[in-house]
Amino acid sequence: MAAELEFFFQEAAAKKSNTAFAKGWQKLALKKNEEKDRQAAIAALHHALALNPTLETSWQLLGLLSGYDSRPEVAEEACRPAVSLRTDWELGIRYLSITRHLLYSYRDAAEVEECYQRFKADLLDFYSDFQNFSTEKKKSLYSWLLTTNTFLLPYLGKETRNLQQCYGTILHEVLTSVFPEGKERPPLPPVDPNRRLRIGILSEHFWEHTVWKLMLHGWLKHLNKEEFELYVYSVSDRNNSCTEIAKTYAYKFVQGNHPPDWWLKQIRSDRLHLILFPEIGMSFTVLMLAALRLAPIQCMSWGHPDTSGLPTIDYFLSSELMEPTDGENHYTEKLVQLKNLGIFFSPLPQDPRPPITREEFGLKKNAVIYGCLQSVFKYLPQFDTIYPEIAALVPNCQFIFLTTMMSKNTRRRFEARLEQSFAEKNLDYRDYCFFSRPLNFYGFTSMLHCLDVFLDSIEWSGGNSTLEALYYAQLPIVTTPGRFMRGRHTAGILTLLEIPELIAPDIPAYIQKAAELGQNPEYRQYIRQKVHQNLPKVFADQAGIRSLEDFIRTTVREFAASKCSPDQFWTQ
């Protein structure tokens, strides 16, 4: 009897210990996910669930991270126990599951199409039911809005307008069921020719981020302070030298990790004439605030270059050099094509240290090095054949890919694609492809100096990365325009740079142009010299800023003089 009791107490202690350890792993997973270290979060979740499979939060988070890990099957497997453990989560889990087929890396073109169709079916099915939800049922979804978004949708290379509009409508109606004051457009304050217009700028990226370099710094520095009062809203606690610079240009600077209702009250009390969102879709907080009416006129730009789908955003501020001829068809907002690039790019100061060398990176010393330095989800499988085609024409070459944003499984998938594409040319991808560790700013700019040619990603073009490749290393860049604006950034930049010969009309021409640059060092040097000579055409160009000022001035004053919605009167 004593032995049986001892065994019972040992078993109870083990279970208690397992429970404590499991919750510790879950806590670590939540922390790592918040820090965007998703690989570590996934590993911690597996530990937690191995010790205690009844942790519903761990199942929920595992399902959420399946896209990052490129495992749609995990989402379905994880969602079932989450719902069985928490039946009151059924609607929220269904909402979360809409995006489970949006992955960081797809196995092949067939999987791209399959995942797109599954996402589309799930979203439209949910949207159809959502239209009949009561206000209380819509309110119940509010706590789930921070679990997922459609960030990865436009990377599929598909039309997104109608799907984003469904998703944007869901967000808007959920948020305004909780905050009904955010539903109606605020009145436009009086427009006095002797007083400055009050312009809001809202972002989470007042730090060394792409959005800071592409839009925020340029807007803050160069918008006419005699005509515009800039009300700057940093919806994050993150604070560094860029944040301090932003404060020097702002008439009013408000910062903090506050809930939507706090921001709604604060911003509406400032009685803005117009508010600018440099991007919508990367930050949950920005997305939620953009789904509310903060100002009478609301505009977004191309920090995340896709339509928001939100009924609250009136204008999409784009670039006249980047839009296709049918550009207006791809936005729920009214398209405004600002002059040239529509921005003023602000590069960070060059690191004073000597650049890291090829040898230090582990690259081939005498090879022709092609840079493919985009996030993995910008590389669609239907374009993998580009690399072995170039390698067949330039045998002594090497392609550099970054492992940033790659989980182990995502990297395995991506490498398997390259292996197959190279094998079809009777080549071994390991002889040609180098996977670099994630790079900080110093590492990235050093890598640029190691390259001979920069290869633009297809259907989601480089913007910030292209500008940095030109600015820091004067690199030749090969591109071909995509179907949508998001695939035409580099083409617009090269047009302004007056080097259109690097813009290939199609994929075969792209391959030939990349090979020609690889084969001919004199041609590469000629392009580098031309880039260096023409850089001021891009980096000193203020046409985009001036046309933004014209847009703001005209739109506000015509809205003040009219009774109609702003998108009914703006003409370029």
Domain ranges of the chain: 22-147, 182-344+544-568, 358-539
Q: Tokens representing 247?
A: 């404060």
The CA distances from residue 398 to 109, 367, 391, 453, 477, in Å, are 24, 6, 8, 10, 16
pLDDT of residue 298: 98
pLDDT band at 566 (very low <50, low <70, confident <90, very high): low
Who's near 230: CB < 8 A, 6+ residues apart? 199, 201, 219, 220, 223, 249, 250, 251, 252
pLDDT band at 8 (very low <50, low <70, confident <90, very high): very low
Determine the Cα–Cα distance for residues 360 and 489; give it in Å rounded to an integer. Answer: 32
| Mean pLDDT to the nearest integer, 206-232 | 97
pLDDT of residue 1: 41
According to DSSP, the residues that pair with 334 across neighbouring strands are 315
Determine the Cα–Cα distance for residues 273 and 298; give it in Å rounded to an integer. Answer: 9
Assess whether pLDDT exceeds 50 at residue 6.
Answer: no
pLDDT of residue 321: 98
Who's near 298: CB < 8 A, 6+ residues apart? 274, 275, 277, 290, 312, 313, 314, 315
Comparison of pLDDT for 149 and 572, the residue scoring more: 149
Between the two ends of the chain, the Cα-to-Cα distance in Å is: 90
Determine the Cα–Cα distance for residues 25 and 535; give it in Å rounded to an integer. Answer: 51
Who's near 461: CB < 8 A, 6+ residues apart? 479, 482, 486, 487, 488, 489, 490, 491
pLDDT of residue 99: 94
Residue from 344, 371, 345, 351 nearest 441 by CA: 351
Assess whether pLDDT exceeds 60 at residue 571.
Answer: no
CA dihedral 239, 244, 249, 253 (to 10 degrees): 40
- pLDDT over 70 percentage in the chain: 95
Count the helix, strand and coil residues of the chain and give each as a percent rounded to the nearest 5. 55, 10, 35
| Mean pLDDT to the nearest integer, 467-484 | 98
Q: Tokens representing 153?
A: 């949708």
pLDDT of residue 72: 86
pLDDT of residue 20: 83
Comparison of pLDDT for 69 and 199, the residue scoring more: 199
Residue from 233, 230, 231 nearest 202 by CA: 233
Q: What is the DSSP string of 273-316?
A: SEEEES-SSS-HHHHHHHTS--SSSEEEETTS-S----TT--EE
**Hey, which CATH number is domain 182-344+544-568, 3.30.420.130, 3.40.50.1820, 3.40.50.11380, 3.40.640.10?**
3.40.50.11380
CA dihedral 75, 76, 78, 80 (to 10 degrees): 150
Write out pLDDT tens, residues 36-51. Answer: 898 899 999 999 999 9
Ranges of H-type helices in 179-294 = 210-211, 217-222, 241-249, 260-269, 284-290
Q: CB neighbours (10 Å) of residue 136?
A: 8
pLDDT of residue 159: 97
CA dihedral 34, 37, 41, 42 (to 10 degrees): 130
Q: Tokens representing 15?
A: 């279970």
pLDDT of residue 68: 87
Residue from 374, 356, 379, 355 nearest 477 by CA: 374
| Mean pLDDT to the nearest integer, 422-451 | 97
In whole numbers, what is the pLDDT of the chain averaged over residues? 94
Contact predicate 461/479, CB 8 Å: yes
Domain pair 182-344+544-568 / 358-539, same fold: yes
Determine the Cα–Cα distance for residues 311 and 290; give it in Å rounded to an integer. Answer: 9
Determine the Cα–Cα distance for residues 342 and 346; give it in Å rounded to an integer. Answer: 13
Assess whether pLDDT exceeds 80 at residue 434.
Answer: yes
pTM for this prediction: 0.93
| Mean pLDDT to the nearest integer, 302-315 | 98
pLDDT of residue 93: 94
Contact predicate 253/247, CB 8 Å: yes
Q: Computed from CA positions of residues 59, 62, 67, 71, in that sequence, does the dihedral angle turn out positive or negative?
A: negative
pLDDT of residue 17: 58
CATH class for the domain made up of 358-539: alpha beta
Place of tokens 């073109």: 109
3-state class of 435 per DSSP? strand
Comparison of pLDDT for 234 and 66, the residue scoring more: 234
Assess whether pLDDT exceeds 50 at residue 570.
Answer: no
Domain 22-147 has CATH 3.40.50.150: no
Residue from 378, 354, 358, 380 nearest 369 by CA: 358
pLDDT of residue 76: 84
Determine the Cα–Cα distance for residues 486 and 492; give it in Å rounded to an integer. Answer: 11
Comparison of pLDDT for 1 and 292, the residue scoring more: 292
Q: What is the DSSP string of 334-361?
A: EEEEESTTSS---PPPPPSSPPPPHHHH
pLDDT of residue 19: 78
pLDDT of residue 347: 96
Assess whether pLDDT exceeds 60 at residue 204.
Answer: yes
